[in-house]
Structure 1
Amino acid sequence: MKFDYHTHHERCGHAERSIRDYVEAALEKQLDIIGISDHSPYLYSEEDHLFPNIAMAKSHFPEYVKEVLSLKKEYEGKIEVLLGVESDFFPEHIHMYKQYYAKYPFDYVIGSVHHVEGLNIFKKDRWEGLTEKEKQKTKDNYYTLIQKSAHSGVFQILGHIDAMKGYYPEFSAIQTEAVDRTLSIISECDVAIEINTSGKNKFCGGWYPSDEILERALYHGVKVTFGSDAHTPARVGDEFEEVQNKLKEIGFKEWAIFRQRKRFMTSL
């Protein structure tokens, strides 16, 4: 079975083309399942469209859901189209997000930490001038948020759990026990993590998470799934087979697919 649970489209303001274009790309690449998971609006803001180049407007969300559900019906028998969302994780607002998502028939919700200490994780100069102790504290704070997202009960998938290395590859070398502790908590909470192939487009190259983290994830019994994090139709399913082979090499036997917020395991 071939699938991709992490794709975006033009509503978020930094991806290209329509949802239909992503579905068609998935068909061309012979995927069995294509999940649409655009960025959630900033629900806590009084503004309808707080950051137009980062996430969709609140007023656009119902039409987003309606369009995915329409395409799900239209493409039935050709490819399975699933309704998802990539949700920012703000611990102080999680109950608001949980109540909002309960209104819609999501197949899955991806929880992603994009902000730590008030700054975007991809802000290129955020590490400048920090001491080694301060860097370690920042990494610990990042993983504390991921732990809280696992505990929240809102998410079926946790997105790109070492993406903070994106524009700072040295992040991976910062010594802390937080990563292993986080994987243990993710396992206890029975939430899956994604192998996200979009890291190739950042300074770090490669995937999120690293092979080393995937080895520890296997040790802790963490379930895994696949998402390209495509922001262009051309990247749908990108490096699916390579990820599949690497997981087998590491020792995984199966990975997760989702429908109606329920997880099903399928063999690698």
Structure 2
Amino acid sequence: MKFDLHTHHFRCGHADGNIRDYIEAGIAAGLQVIGISDHTPYFGEKEDRAFPQIAMGKSELANYVQEVLELKQEYEGKIDVLLGIESDYFPEHVEEYRLVLSGYPFDYIIGSVHSVGGVSIFNKNRWKKLSDKQQIEVKEQYYRQIQESARSGMFQILGHIDAMKGNYPAFSEISAERILDETLQIIAENGVAIEINTSGKTKLSGGWYPSDAILERACHFGVNVTFGSDAHKPARVGDELALVAQRLKEIGFTEWVYFKNKQMQHVPL
């Protein structure tokens, strides 16, 4: 079975195409399951759409859900369309996000850390003039936030868990094995899956999130894995799915998972 659980569309302000375009691309790619998972609004901000180039407005969320549910019915028998969403994880706004998202029938929610210490994880300027010790502190803060997201009970999937390397490839070389292993154990204990996200190829780091080295450790700790292209263009739906499946088998995984009605579905590799 082929699936892709991480796709975006025009509502977030930085993706091309509408939801139907991504579904049709999924069919063309031979998928049996496609998840639509655009970015949540910024619920912690007063404005309806605080960051127009990053996420949809609060007033669009209900329309988004309705459109996906209507397309799910329309495409029944052709492809299984799942209602997902990618939620930011802001420790200070957890309960607000939990309350709003609990009001919708999501098949799954992807929890992603996009900001640490009030600065985007993709901002390469954050690393300027930091000592080795300070770099380790930032990396540990990032993974502690991921740990919190895993423990929150809000998410079925954690998104791109080493994406901080995206625009700063040297991130992978910052020594923090202890916090990484601790994080993977917490993820496993809480029954949350991590995605192999092929959008890293569009950043300075290249490659996938997370790295093979992290996937090897994840396999050791019994972490469940899933797949997401993180497509912001329909042409990227299912991108490198077969290559990811092969690499996972080489590492030692025998299955991966997706979620429907928030229930884990196991799929042999």
Question: Do Structure 1 and Structure 2 share a fold, with TM-score over 0.5?
Answer: yes
Matches within 5 A, 1:1-268: 1-176=1-176, 177-268=178-269
| Runs of 5+ unmatched residues, structure 1 | none
Write out per-residue CA displacement over residues 117-150 of structure 1, whole angstroms, 9 at most, x where no aligned residue.
Answer: 1100001211111111110000000000000000
> What is the alpha-carbon distance in structure 1 between the residues aligned to residue 124 and residue 68 of structure 2?
34
Please tell me the residue identity of whatever aligns with 2:203.
K
Amino acid at match of 1:206: G
Amino acid at match of 1:221: G
- In structure 1, C-alpha distance between the alignment counterparts of 2:153 and 2:126, rounded to whole Å: 30
Aligned residue for 2:155, secondary structure, equals coil
Tell me, what secondary structure is at the counterpart of 1:257? strand
The 1-side partners of 2:134 and 2:163 are apart by: 18
Deviations 1:46-85 (A, max 9, x none): 1000000000000011000000000000000000000000
- Helix, strand or coil at the partner of 2:110: strand
| Cα distance in 2, alignment partners of residues 232 and 22 from structure 1 | 8
Partners of 2:31 and 2:266 in 1: CA distance: 17
- Matches of 2:74 and 2:160 in 1, distance apart? 31
User: Matched residue of 1:125: which SS?
Assistant: helix
- 1:149-196 deviations in Å (ceiling 9; x for gaps): 000000000000000000111000100121111001101111000000
- What's the offset of the Cα at 1:96? 1.1
Cα distance in 1 between the residues matched to 2:29 and 2:190 = 34
- Partner secondary structure for residue 109 of structure 2: strand
- Overall identity of the aligned pairs, in %: 61
**CA-to-partner distance for each residue in 1:80-123, whole Å, 9 max, x for gaps?**
00000000001111111111111111000000000001100001
User: TM-score, normalization: structure 2?
Assistant: 0.99
TM-score by length of 1: 0.99
Tell me the secondary structure at the aligned position of residue 83 of structure 2.
strand
Secondary structure at 2:210's aligned position in 1? coil
- Letter aligned with residue 128 of structure 1: K
Given residue 149 of structure 1, which amino acid in structure 2 is its aligned partner? S
How much does 1:255 deviate?
A: 0.5
Letter aligned with residue 104 of structure 2: Y
Bigger shift: residues 45-54 or 91-100: 91-100
CA distance in 2: counterparts of 1:80 and 1:259, whole angstroms = 10
Aligned length: 268
